């Protein structure tokens, strides 16, 4: 008969348990950032798709209105706080595409974000007393030139951007004289824009600062006499 001590299971010592816990914590610290980056990349792809759908819906709208894009004043809504009343909603039939997934998370958090603050306080200037449920803003510089056939260089003129907006900003618009720095860099310090040729761009802060200083970025041609006062600081 074998001695009893041969059948006893050896227990972990406290030191061994601490080592195991430390290894698990180390592995978690290595894996969690990678998982977080993967999730953010997925949200960024969804955001790009949203912008593409908004631009396609706007072009489809133009086909029904003699080649004219919707106005920045009513593309988003015609009844305050109601996205379904906007001019392009019938071409989308869903409210999901109006909101970036990462922005949705930030809107639900009271923690400060790493987004750059705009030069003017849009949240106070455009407070419509409606909680913001959208992430994208239309270029107000095309308001007097909505006919796509008259755009000099559509690939260089902004249509929509993923904008830096306050929680009660329901303007749905962005422009050079209102806010000079309005792109949101919430996706790994990058932001998304869609140009008037339906091409989606992903830009860093440095890239955006350069292109947003060009007149053609905001204005599709030189026929907007009403907008000339906004050109002073543009190349």
Look at residue 92 and tell me whether its pLDDT is greater than 80.
yes
Which of 190, 156, 205 is closest to 45 using CA atoms? 190
Residue with tokens 């072009």, as numbered in its chain: 59
Which of 56, 55, 53, 57 is closest to 45 using CA atoms? 53
Residues whose CB falls within 8 Å of the CB of residue 110, separated by 6 or more in sequence, listed in order:
none
Handedness of CA 110, 105, 193, 138 (dihedral sign): negative
Task: Give the model confidence (pLDDT) of 137-165 as tens digits.
Answer: 999 998 888 999 999 999 999 999 999 98
Strands (E), 31-181: 136-139, 158-162, 173-174
Q: What is the mean pLDDT of residues 107-124?
A: 50
What is the model's pLDDT at position 221? 87
What is the model's pLDDT at position 121? 41
**Residue 216: Cβ within 10 Å count:** 20
Which of 228, 85, 106, 79 is closest to 165 using CA atoms? 106
Give the pair of three-digit tokens for residue 4.
Answer: 């009893």
Quickly state the pLDDT bin for 120 (edges 50, 70, 90): very low
pTM of the model: 0.78
Residue 169 φ/ψ, nearest 5 degrees: -80, 110
Residue with tokens 């790009």, as numbered in its chain: 48
Residue 8 φ/ψ, nearest 5 degrees: -75, 135
The winner for highest mean pLDDT among 51-55, 120-124, 217-221 is 51-55
CA 31/CA 38 separation, integer angstroms? 11
Cβ-contact 195, 157 below 8 angstroms:
yes
């Amino acid at each position: 008969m074998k001695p009893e001590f041969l059948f006893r299971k050896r227990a972990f010592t406290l030191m061994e348990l601490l080592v195991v816990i430390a290894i698990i914590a180390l592995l978690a610290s290595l894996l969690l950032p990678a998982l977080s980056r993967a999730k953010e990349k997925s949200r960024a792809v969804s955001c790009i798709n949203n912008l593409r759908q908004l631009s396609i819906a706007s072009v489809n709208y133009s086909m029904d209105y003699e080649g004219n894009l919707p106005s920045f004043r009513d593309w988003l809504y015609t009844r305050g706080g109601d996205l379904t009343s906007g001019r392009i909603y019938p071409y989308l039939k869903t409210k999901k595409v109006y909101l970036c997934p990462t922005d949705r998370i930030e809107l639900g958090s009271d923690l400060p974000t790493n987004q750059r603050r705009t030069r003017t306080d849009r949240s106070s200037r455009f407070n419509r007393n409606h909680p913001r449920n959208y992430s994208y803003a239309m270029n107000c510089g095309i308001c007097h030139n909505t006919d796509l056939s008259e755009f000099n260089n559509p690939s260089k003129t902004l249509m929509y951007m993923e904008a830096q907006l306050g929680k009660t900003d329901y303007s749905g618009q962005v422009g050079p004289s209102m806010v000079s720095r309005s792109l949101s860099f919430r996706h790994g310090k990058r932001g998304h824009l869609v140009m008037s040729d339906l091409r989606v761009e992903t830009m860093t802060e440095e890239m955006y600062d350069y292109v947003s200083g060009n007149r053609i970025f905001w204005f599709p041609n030189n026929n907007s006499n009403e907008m000339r006062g906004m050109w002073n600081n543009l190349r």
